[in-house]
């Protein structure tokens, strides 16, 4: 079903697309629109916000400081708008659940749970990770993190992307893929790592929310991920703890601690109806 036109949605699409390409011709071709329409959308959006989002300098578009800040928000609004229309995202008790294409070869189901469920149903290593975060006061290199350091993945935000900067040798990521393949993800953006999928837009959104809030988040996830390059995706269920930390220089780090487990609850998803993760991979 084709959705009816919505001027705010179209203005945001024009802004986000032009902000990505910084080239009007490329943006117009991507949108299937016209130069006049994209320019009008940008002008209307800037007028509504009362600030300049894009400047034209030396025949090249550049994001203003306000535009760079607005871009992240605009991307998230578009993502939620489109996902809601496809019934992929819902809110359960104020927390987010994602039900991404159950008919696809690689479905992605996740549900954000309240923090107190870590003590009720969290695995021992997830509980230990939360304790380390508190005791270290969120300083990633503090000795209090040593108990779980080998199980962590760390990211930093760079040019509106999440870049992987370290992977623990005992992390679920490394033990699922194998250490040599996992190492290839270091230095790459989330969208270009060996485990990338179409559902990474929702993962990136959850990372962004924790970066802004300065806190933590626990998600239960079911999906499929190949264990070898070019291999067939295999079922995987896990709990994922996301933590905002600090690097020694004071810059923010985003840390994930993943534990593969069958102790996963996702609203409106009966996991018995889907292939289960191999018990040997728990």
| Among the listed residues 36, 35, 34, 44, the one whose alpha carbon sits nearest the alpha carbon of residue 12 | 44
Per-chain mean pLDDT for the chain: 88
Q: Domain range holding 236?
A: 89-281
Task: Answer whether residue 49 is part of any domain.
Answer: yes
80 and 64, same structural domain? yes
Cα dist from 180 to 194, 195, 274, whole Å: 11, 14, 30
The reported pLDDT for the residue numbered 256 is 96
Contact 194, 200 (CB under 8 A): no
Q: How many domains does the chain have?
A: 2
| pTM strictly above 0.85 | no
138 and 65, same structural domain? no
Phi-psi region of 210 (alpha: psi -120 to 50; beta: other; left: phi over 0): alpha
Q: Please give the span between the terminal C-alpha atoms of the chain, in angstroms, as a whole number.
A: 41
139 and 46, same structural domain? no
Q: Is the pLDDT of residue 1 over 60?
A: no
The mean pLDDT of 31-49, rounded to a whole number, is 93
> Domain with 42 in it: what CATH number?
1.10.10.10
Reported as a single tens digit per residue, the pLDDT across 264-275 is 999 988 999 999
Q: Is 70 helix (H, G, I), strand (E, B) or coil?
A: helix
257 and 167, same structural domain? yes
Reported as a single tens digit per residue, the pLDDT across 76-120 is 788 777 766 766 777 778 888 888 776 667 888 999 999 999 999
- DSSP, residue by residue, 212-259: HHTSEEEEEEEEEE-SSTTPPPEEEEEEEEEEEEE-TTS-EEEEEEEE
> CB under 8 Å to 153, separation ≥6 — which residues?
164, 166, 167, 168, 171, 173, 255, 256, 257, 258
145 and 60, same structural domain? no
Task: Answer whether residue 141 is part of any domain.
Answer: yes
124 and 53, same structural domain? no
């Amino acid at each position: 079903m084709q959705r009816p036109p919505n001027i705010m949605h179209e203005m945001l699409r024009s802004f986000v697309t032009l902000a990505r390409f910084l080239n009007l011709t490329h943006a117009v071709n991507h949108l299937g629109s016209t130069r006049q329409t994209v320019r009008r959308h940008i002008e209307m959006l800037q007028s509504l916000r009362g600030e300049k989002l894009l400047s034209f300098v030396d025949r090249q578009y550049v994001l203003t400081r306000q535009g760079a800040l607005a871009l992240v928000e605009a991307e998230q609004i578009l993502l939620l708008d489109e996902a809601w229309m496809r019934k992929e995202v819902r809110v359960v008790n104020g927390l987010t659940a994602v039900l991404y294409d159950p008919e696809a070869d690689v479905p992605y189901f996740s549900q954000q749970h309240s923090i107190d469920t870590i003590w009720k149903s969290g695995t021992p290593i997830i509980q230990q990770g939360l304790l380390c975060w508190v005791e270290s006061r969120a300083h990633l290199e503090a000795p209090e993190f040593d108990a779980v350091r080998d199980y962590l993945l760390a990211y930093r935000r760079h040019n509106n992307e999440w870049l992987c900067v370290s992977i623990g040798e005992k992390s679920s990521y490394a033990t699922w893929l194998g250490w040599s393949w996992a190492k290839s993800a270091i230095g790459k953006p989330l969208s270009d790592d060996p485990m990338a999928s179409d559902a990474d837009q929702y993962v990136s959104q959850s990372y962004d929310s924790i970066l802004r809030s300065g806190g933590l988040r626990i998600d239960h996830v079911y999906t499929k991920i190949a264990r070898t390059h070019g291999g067939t995706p295999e079922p995987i269920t896990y709990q994922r703890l996301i933590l905002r930390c600090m690097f020694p220089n004071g810059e923010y780090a985003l840390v994930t601690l993943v534990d593969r487990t069958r102790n996963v609850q996702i609203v409106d998803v009966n996991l018995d109806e889907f292939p289960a993760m191999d018990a040997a991979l728990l």
